[in-house]
């Protein structure tokens, strides 16, 4: 759910728990994921669910229904919570490999892999110019969507 939040939703969530709301989207997502993984309380889960429902229930039938929430035993709340002596709680694992799924956010790398030159794309040698060197390998154009827009 957290991965589908917009920047404003992430800022509201992080502000709710008193964490920094500034930064790029991938930084906010990283902080929110760390919050969910290591330091999550029932109030935070409730806020995440509330933000998700306000964002996606407005769209109605366009969005597929959300999966059933994972039922876990409630975490105990202590009135005097001391962060210095607290041991990070881990929630029951659900066999999800977070680093593999969200590695680009956790590592701070939001780059796409480089495009690989396809072997079938070749430049035709013409008599009126001389090729001295190739700066960039030729690549295939994407799909044409009309009005000069390629994907």
Strand partners for 150: 144
Answer yes or no: is 117 within a domain: no
Distance CA 13, CA 5 (A): 10
CATH number at residue 90: 1.10.720.30
Answer yes or no: is 120 within a domain: no
Answer yes or no: is 11 within a domain: yes
Answer yes or no: is 22 within a domain: yes
Q: How far is CA 58 from CA 55, 63, 72, in A?
A: 6, 10, 28
Answer yes or no: is 38 within a domain: yes
**Host domain of residue 40:** 2-106
Q: How many domains does the chain have?
A: 1
Of 24, 47, 35, nearest in space to 7 by CA: 24
pLDDT digits (tens, 9 = 90+) for 77-119: 554 444 554 455 554 444 455 455 555 555 544 455 555 555 5
Answer yes or no: is 151 within a domain: no
Evaluate if residue 56 carries a pLDDT over 50.
Answer: yes
The pLDDT of residue 146 is 66
Compute how many other C-beta atoms are within 10 angstroms of the C-beta atom of residue 31: 20
Q: What is the mean pLDDT of residues 123-134?
A: 82
């Amino acid at each position: 759910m957290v991965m589908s939040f917009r920047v404003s939703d992430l800022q509201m969530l992080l502000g709710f728990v008193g964490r920094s709301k500034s930064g790029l989207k991938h930084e906010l997502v990283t902080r929110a994921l760390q919050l969910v993984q290591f330091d999550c309380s029932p109030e935070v889960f409730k806020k995440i669910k509330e933000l998700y429902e306000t964002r996606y229930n407005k769209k109605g039938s366009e969005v597929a229904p959300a999966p059933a929430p994972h039922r876990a035993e409630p975490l105990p709340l202590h009135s005097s919570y001391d962060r210095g002596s607290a041991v990070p709680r881990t929630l029951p694992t659900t066999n999800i490999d977070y680093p593999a799924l969200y590695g680009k956010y956790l590592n701070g790398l939001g780059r796409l892999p480089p495009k690989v030159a396809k072997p079938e794309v070749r430049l035709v040698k013409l008599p009126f110019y001389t090729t001295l060197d190739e700066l960039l390998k030729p690549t295939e154009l994407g799909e044409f969507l009309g009005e000069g827009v390629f994907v």
